[in-house]
Amino acid sequence: MAPSIKVGDTLPKGEFGYIPWAPELESHLACGVPSKINTETDWKGKKVVLFSVPGAFTPTCHTNHLPPYLEKYDEFKSKGVDVIAVVAANDLFVMSGWARFEGCKDKILALSDAGAKWSAALNLSVDLTERGMGVRTSRYAMIIDDLVVKYIEVEPAPGVTVSGAEAVLAKL
C-alpha cells in the first residue's frame, strides 16, 4: 500500500516519546527523563531528516540503517539539516537504549512511535506479527522543511536503499 503522504504535503501532527540525551545516560543504570516531541511545534521552521526502522537492535536497522546516518552527521549538518531523527514502534526506553548503544548522544533523536500509530495513519506501517514482532513502522525516510515534505521514500524490498543516509543526502 502506498503512503498517504507525498512530496508537497504538510506533515501531519505527530507526538513521539523520547528520552533526551544527557551525560548521566552514560551510566547504564540511568534511564533518563521521558519527554515528547510535537512535530507541529518542535519542527516548525526547521529542516528535519526523519528515517524509520522496523525495530531497534534488529539486524538491518542496527548495522546498515542507523550507523551511516551517524557517520555522515556532519554532512547532513553542512546541508542545513537541523534535526536528524530515527523512529520505530519500540517504546521510548528501548529507543533510548539503542541510541546510547549506537553512540548517538544528541546527534540523532531516537523517537518512539508507540504501536506505529502515527506511521500507520500514513500507510507507513508493516504487520510483522507472523515474525513475532507485531505491527511496526515501515522502513522509510523523509526530508521535512518547515513542516512540508520535500522527500519521502519507502523501501520497496528488504534492505536499505531509498531510506538510507546516502540516498537522503543526495536529495538535500
Distance, in Å, from the CA atom of 54 to the CA atom of 163, rounded to the nearest integer, reads: 12
Distance, in Å, from the CA atom of 75 to the CA atom of 66, rounded to the nearest integer, reads: 15
Q: Which residues pair with 79 in a beta bridge?
A: none
The yes-or-no answer on residue 104 being catalytic is no
Instruction: Give the three cell numbers for residue 23.
Output: 551525560
The active-site residue out of 37, 61, 87, 126 is: 61
Distance, in Å, from the CA atom of 66 to the CA atom of 52, rounded to the nearest integer, reads: 9
Other beta carbons within 10 Å of 140: 22
**Enzyme catalytic residues:** 61
